[in-house]
């Protein structure tokens, strides 16, 4: 602990000789042993250099100041300086530890906050994706519904158009049938009328021809009879007087007393 050349020798190694968290530092693998040595030194000193401590005001040690005591006082100052260094090292170590702890807590808080932010962002993104998916599904359903409605409308329009086309075709066919029936009826009527007219014309012509023949026959007969009578009269005339009336050349008075014409009547 004490030597003649260097005075006071540190019973413990420096707290941060091997680094703040190294193998032989204050908070390293050997840090707890250093703390034990510090506690032992403080116990030997008796607490704040009071009466009864190792360097205290003990009556057994009172007397004339010797060279050894002078060396001890000098070493004591070195010890005090060392203890203050140890205290400063402890304070710095605890401050550093506190700072590191605070930094770690801050980092942990930051990490936790970052994690919560990421979680919130993920929840928000999931919610957005869920809402977006729901919206897309709704839009798809609306589009499908619109497509189905459009198909139904098109189907209804096509059916109505088909019905209209069928009705038009039926009306056209009916008109065509009616026209065909009308034309056929007209043709039949015209044919019947033509046949009737032909028959009537034939009958009329036949009647006319018959009448003409009868007229011709009658005229021929009359002419023949006239010719026959003429010929008979000419070839075998009947006796008849030359004068049918009185002779105008005779006297009006005859031989008698009468007013006769002279014929003896």
Interatomic CA distance for residues 144 and 141, integer angstroms = 5
Whether the per-residue pLDDT at 105 is higher than 80: the answer is no
Cα 203–206–211 angle (5° rounding)? 125
Residue 26 CB burial class (10 angstroms; 0-12, 13-18, ≥19): buried
pLDDT at 242: 59
| Mean pLDDT, rounded, for 123-142 | 83
Write the pLDDT tens digit of every residue in 202-234: 888 888 888 888 888 898 889 888 888 888 877
What is the reported pTM? 0.30
Tokens of 66: 């010797």
Tokens of 136: 């897309």
Q: Where are the domains of the chain?
A: 2-50+67-112
Of 111-125, 213-227, 251-265, the range with the lowest mean pLDDT is 251-265
Tokens of 186: 């007209």
pLDDT at 74: 65
Across 52-56, 104-108, 147-151, which has the greatest mean pLDDT? 147-151
CB 27 within 8 A of CB 93: yes
Whether the per-residue pLDDT at 161 is higher than 80: the answer is yes
Interatomic CA distance for residues 201 and 203, integer angstroms = 5
Interatomic CA distance for residues 203 and 196, integer angstroms = 10
pLDDT at 119: 81
pLDDT at 33: 57
pLDDT at 135: 85
Interatomic CA distance for residues 228 and 27, integer angstroms = 190
Mean pLDDT, all residues of the chain? 71
Torsion of CA 91, 97, 101, 107, to 10 degrees: 120
CB 29 within 8 A of CB 23: yes
């Amino acid at each position: 602990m004490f030597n003649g050349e260097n005075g006071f020798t540190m019973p413990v190694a420096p707290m941060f000789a091997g680094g703040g968290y190294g193998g032989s530092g204050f908070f390293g693998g050997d840090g707890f042993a250093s703390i034990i040595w510090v506690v032992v030194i403080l116990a030997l000193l008796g607490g704040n250099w009071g009466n009864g401590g190792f360097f205290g005001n003990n009556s057994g040690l009172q007397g004339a100041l010797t060279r050894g005591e002078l060396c001890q006082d000098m070493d004591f100052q070195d010890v005090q300086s060392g203890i203050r260094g140890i205290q400063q090292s402890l304070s710095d170590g605890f401050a550093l530890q506190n700072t590191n702890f605070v930094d770690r807590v801050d980092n942990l808080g930051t990490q936790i906050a970052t994690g919560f932010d990421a979680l919130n962002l993920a929840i928000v993104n999931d919610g957005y994706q869920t809402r977006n998916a729901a919206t897309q599904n709704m839009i798809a359903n609306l589009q499908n519904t619109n497509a189905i409605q459009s198909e139904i409308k098109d189907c209804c329009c096509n059916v109505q158009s088909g019905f209209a086309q069928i009705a038009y075709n039926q009306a056209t066919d009916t008109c065509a049938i009616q026209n065909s029936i009308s034309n056929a009826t007209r043709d039949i009527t015209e044919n019947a009328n033509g046949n009737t007219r032909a028959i009537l014309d034939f009958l009329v012509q036949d009647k006319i021809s018959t009448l003409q023949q009868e007229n011709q026959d009658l005229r021929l007969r009359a002419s023949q009879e006239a010719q026959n009578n003429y010929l008979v009269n000419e070839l075998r005339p009947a006796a008849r007087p030359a004068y049918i009336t009185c002779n105008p050349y005779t006297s009006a008075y005859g031989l008698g007393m009468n007013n006769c014409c002279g014929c003896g009547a």
